[in-house]
Chains A and B, each alone.
Chain A
């Protein structure tokens, strides 16, 4: 990246560290988001990564909401007691 050459000319070492840190974090974020993972490693701008991150977190939140609703309906008929909880736990393992 050409920005690295420019960065070395900056007098402040602090801002250099922060830029590297931020680029690093943004690229890590990019790896986590399924839409951005398909081989386009360096072509995605930070702004796009952040936008997709926001969309992804919101979709995850929505999934959790739907699952919570679904679970609440499944559990509404009967409360789980300790024995049933143990059975469920063992079934999930």
Chain B
């Protein structure tokens, strides 16, 4: 009975009003959650950046790092490995743990993990699929650029900028042959991740050096 009273018309008005209300509340809720979730404009980017800055992420990484380090045989039962090799082993373990912490969402993390296992064909497959779409885009813009030379717009596409981005691509793992926007995106995430790595490793080093009883008894570095 109540439903009949409140819904005189089966179709539009009340339904529309109700739908509008539903839309409003859901939209309001959505914007509210968006505001709480994102701190900057781009959603994906900000999630990545704030992720690396969070305490939780650093703790996850630290525990992964400690696990990895306990597996790296630094003491060497047969022969004590040289100092640079030990350092490199630690570095590789730290990088691998960082790549695992990235959960495979970024190219640089996948590149670190696959380079270890030497599955190069997998890397090439991803690069090929990614570069096809980018190649068509660059083809179109290249044609337009030659016809209409607008200097200030092309500042971003200037050869010096492109060269610098390529150089940057060599620093970020897995980005040697990637197009411009990909390299920039990977670099932003990579920097945030590296900063966290530095924070975690220095915390660990401080902890270990603080609790180390006799610092003078550390073995001399073999040269």
Instruction: Say how far B135's CB is from chain A's closest CB, in angstroms.
Output: 13
What are the residues of chain B within 8 A of A14 when measuring CB–CB?
A: 137, 140-141
What are the residues of chain A within 8 A of B145 when measuring CB–CB?
A: 15
Q: Is the CB of B91 within 8 A of A64?
A: yes
Instruction: Let me know if B12 is at the binding interface, CB within 8 A.
Output: no
What are the residues of chain A within 8 A of B84 when measuring CB–CB?
A: 69
Instruction: Let me know if B126 is at the binding interface, CB within 8 A.
Output: no
Assembly CA distance A51 to B164 (angstroms): 7
Q: Is the CB of B184 within 8 A of A72?
A: no
The interface bits of chain B over 48-74 (1 if a CB of A lies within 8 angstroms of the residue's CB, else 0) are 010000000001001100110110011
- Interface size of A by CB at 8 A reads 61
Assembly CA distance A78 to B67 (angstroms): 15
What are the residues of chain B within 8 A of A35 when measuring CB–CB?
A: none
Q: Is the CB of A72 within 8 A of B83?
A: yes
B contact face: mostly helix, strand, loop, or mixed: helix
Q: Is the CB of B168 within 8 A of A54?
A: yes
| Given A19-B156, A92-B207, A75 contacting B91 (CB threshold 8 A) | no
Instruction: Say how far A29's CB is from chain B's closest CB, in angstroms.
Output: 6
| Given A12-B144, A47-B160, A80-B70, A58 contacting B152 (CB threshold 8 A) | no
A contact face: mostly helix, strand, loop, or mixed: helix
Assembly CA distance A54 to B204 (angstroms): 27
Q: Is the CB of A89 within 8 A of B63?
A: yes
Select one of B141, B167, B171 contacting A12, CB under 8 A: B141
The 26 sampled A-B contact pairs (Cβ below 8 Å) are: A3-B153, A12-B140, A15-B141, A15-B145, A19-B157, A22-B184, A28-B40, A46-B155, A46-B161, A51-B164, A60-B191, A65-B91, A69-B83, A69-B90, A71-B201, A73-B86, A74-B208, A74-B209, A76-B74, A76-B86, A77-B219, A79-B75, A85-B67, A88-B66, A89-B66, A92-B204
Q: B-contacting residues of A (Cβ < 8 Å)?
A: 1-3, 6-7, 9-12, 14-15, 18-19, 21-26, 28-29, 32-33, 45-47, 50-51, 53-54, 56-58, 60-61, 63-65, 67-82, 84-85, 88-89, 91-93
